[in-house]
């Protein structure tokens, strides 16, 4: 029971670090990009959050980014191993173009997460714990408190600059 | 698929449907319809119809976009 | 009384003979840890729906809808360990993201041509 909680927690931490790193590298908090992301950023800032963090949350909602890539990579590795993860990468690339997003955050996130999840299965954490871990990670960013999460993302963005 | 997951998904679908029925704001209504669509998908997958689920996953958001063309910009 | 018992037996045997999705030999049912992960995803989805209902601002409902889509895509992929499960989960997730994008940009006044 304790080992289950530790495994899920470790998978959630790995997924959180991976998707935040890839999104910061692709500069998701920098500008609006899509109109919808700007609207969500304005709403988050009105509620007392940080504008850069709100822009990143808006970009996560409006287009498949590294968080979606990590989730679908974990699903792909669970269903079919490494070829499943690469199939998920192709699907995330198509999804990025459908949502008219010119970036490659989702594609690179999915590609790197395939190897992370495969490495996790070699250590002994099954791929389904990476799926639930990624859902828990996105819950902490977008599902608990928008104000505090956007401030945390804004601080990490200022560290990157 | 065990019975507890089935009950949770049915509760989600019912809550989404009741919320979509009672709310006034058109954008919140569309979000409620999205919750209904999301609640129905695992029930289709549970019987093995993965291809039907993939087809519906394209059809339901597309019909929401067509409904959005009825809400003109800026209207409350 | 005998007729009703007989019809109940016929109904029960009919229900037992209906094949479920895992009757074919190509697919094995999900493992124990996958059931646990699916139930946790279901509880997170229920929490996200309750937060959607109690949030007053429309634009701030959209991140909770995104959490809901993540968990439903996770449940869909966990239930079928076959490549079609990934394709269905990816199609649902991309469709839901596209719909959220359309709702947000229509609320904000639409895309300038």
C42-85 pLDDT, tens per residue? 999 999 999 999 999 999 999 999 999 999 999 999 998 889 99
Q: Over its length of 161 residues, how does chain A's per-residue pLDDT go in tens digits?
A: 889 999 999 999 999 999 999 999 988 888 766 788 888 999 999 988 888 899 999 999 998 999 999 999 999 999 888 999 999 999 999 999 888 888 888 999 999 999 999 999 999 899 999 999 999 999 999 999 999 999 999 999 998 87
What is the count of structural domains for chain B? 1
Which of C52, C76, C107 has its CB closest to that of B35? C52
Q: Do C49 and B35 touch (CB under 8 A)?
A: yes
Q: Which pLDDT score, from 0 to 100, does residue B72 have? A: 67
- Residue from B16, B21, B25, B42 to probe the interface with C (highest C Cβ count within 10 Å): B42
Does the residue B30 lie in any domain?
Answer: yes
pLDDT at A103: 84
Would the pLDDT of B63 be above 80? yes
Task: Indicate the domain borders of chain C.
Answer: 31-113
Residue B74 lies in a domain: no
Determine the pLDDT at residue B31: 95
CB contact under 8 A, A138 and C70: yes
Residue C27 predicted with pLDDT over 80: no
Best residue in C92, C94, C100 for a mutation probing chain B (most B CBs within 10 Å): C92
Of C29 and A15, which is predicted with more confidence? Answer: A15
Quick one: angle between helices A66-80 and A2-25, nearest 10?
Answer: 130
Closest-CA distance of chain B to residue C60, Å: 11
CA distance A91 to C81: 17
Average pLDDT over residues B12-38: 95
ipTM of the complex: 0.93
- Give the residue among A36, B38, A71, A145 at the shortest CA–CA distance from C69: B38
Distance CA A152, CA C37 (A): 28
Q: Which chains contact A through at least 3 pairs of Cβ atoms less than 8 Å apart?
A: C
Nearest CA in chain B to C40: B5
Q: Chain C: nearest CA to A4, how far in angstroms?
A: 9
Whole-angstrom distance, CA of residue A83 vs CA of residue A34: 31
Residue B36 is assigned to a structural domain of this protein? yes
Structural domain that includes position B58:
3-68
Using a CB-CB distance cutoff of 8 angstroms, which residues of chain C are in contact with residue B6? none
Top residue of A15, A78, A149 to mutate, by most chain C CBs within 10 Å, is A78
Q: How confident is the model at residue B10 (pLDDT cuts 50, 70, 90)?
A: very high
B11 within a domain of the structure (yes/no): yes
Q: Is the pLDDT of residue C26 over 60?
A: no
In a domain, B76, yes or no: no
* C45 CB-near residues (< 8 Å, 6+ apart): B8, B9, B12, B38, C68, C71, C72, C75
| Close Cβ partners of C47 (under 8 Å, ≥ 6 residues apart) | A139, A143
- B22 in a structural domain: yes
Q: Which residue of C has its CA nearest to A37?
A: C104
**Interface contact C84-B42, CB threshold 8 A:** no
Angstrom distance (rounded) from CA A10 to CA A88? 23
Q: pLDDT at residue B18 above 90?
A: yes
List chain C residues with CB under 8 Å of A44: 60
Name the band, by pLDDT with cuts 50, 70 and 90, for residue B35. Answer: very high
Asked if A143 and C60 come within 8 Å (Cβ–Cβ), the reply is no
What pLDDT was estimated at residue A31? 73
8 Å CB contact of A58 and C111: no
The pTM (predicted TM-score) of the whole model is 0.89
Please indicate whether, in this complex, the C-beta atoms of C95 and B4 are within 8 angstroms of each other. Answer: no
Residue B52 falls inside a structural domain: yes
Could you give the angle at the alpha carbon of A42 between the alpha carbons of A36 and A46, nearest 5°?
A: 150
- Chain A residue with the nearest C-alpha to that of C41: A132
- Position B74 scores a pLDDT of 45
**B58 in any annotated domain:** yes
**At which residue do the structure tokens 């019975």 appear?**
B3
Residue numbers in A near C48 (CB within 8 A): 139, 143
Inter-chain CB proximity C70 and A135 less than 8 Å = yes
Residue C104 and residue A37: Cβ atoms within 8 Å? yes
Contact B12 C82 (CB under 8 A): no
């Amino acid at each position: 029971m304790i080992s289950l909680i530790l495994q899920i927690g470790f998978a959630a931490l790995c997924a959180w670090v991976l998707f935040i790193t890839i999104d910061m590298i692709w500069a998701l908090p920098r500008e609006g990009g899509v109109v919808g992301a700007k609207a969500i950023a304005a709403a988050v800032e009105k509620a007392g959050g940080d504008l850069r963090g709100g822009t990143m949350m808006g970009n996560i909602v409006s287009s498949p980014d590294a968080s979606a890539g990590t989730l679908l990579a974990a699903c792909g590795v669970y269903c079919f191993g490494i070829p499943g993860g690469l199939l998920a990468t192709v699907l995330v690339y198509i999804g990025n173009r459908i949502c008219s997003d010119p970036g490659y955050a989702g594609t690179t996130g999915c590609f790197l997460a395939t190897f992370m999840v495969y490495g996790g299965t070699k250590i002994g954490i099954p791929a389904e714990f990476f799926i639930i871990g990624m859902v828990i990670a996105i819950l902490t960013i977008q599902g608990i408190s928008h104000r505090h999460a956007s401030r945390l993302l804004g601080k990490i963005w200022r560290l990157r600059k | 698929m065990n019975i507890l997951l089935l009950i949770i998904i049915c509760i989600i679908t019912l809550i989404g449907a009741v919320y979509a029925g009672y709310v006034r704001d058109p954008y919140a209504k569309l979000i409620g319809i999205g919750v209904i669509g999301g609640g129905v998908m695992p029930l289709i997958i549970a019987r093995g119809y993965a291809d039907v689920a993939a087809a519906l996953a394209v059809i339901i958001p597309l019909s929401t976009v067509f409904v959005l063309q009825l809400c003109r910009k800026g209207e409350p | 009384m005998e007729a009703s018992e007989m019809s109940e037996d016929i109904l029960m045997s009919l229900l037992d003979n209906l094949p479920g999705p895992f009757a074919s030999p190509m697919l094995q049912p999900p493992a124990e840890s996958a059931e646990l992960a699916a139930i946790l995803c279901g509880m997170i989805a229920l929490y996200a729906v309750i937060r959607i209902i109690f949030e007053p601002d429309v634009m701030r409902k959209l991140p909770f809808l995104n959490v809901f889509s993540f968990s439903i895509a996770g449940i869909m992929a966990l239930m079928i360990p076959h490549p079609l499960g990934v394709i269905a989960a990816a199609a649902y997730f991309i469709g839901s993201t596209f719909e959220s994008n359309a709702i947000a940009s229509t609320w904000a006044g639409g895309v300038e041509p």
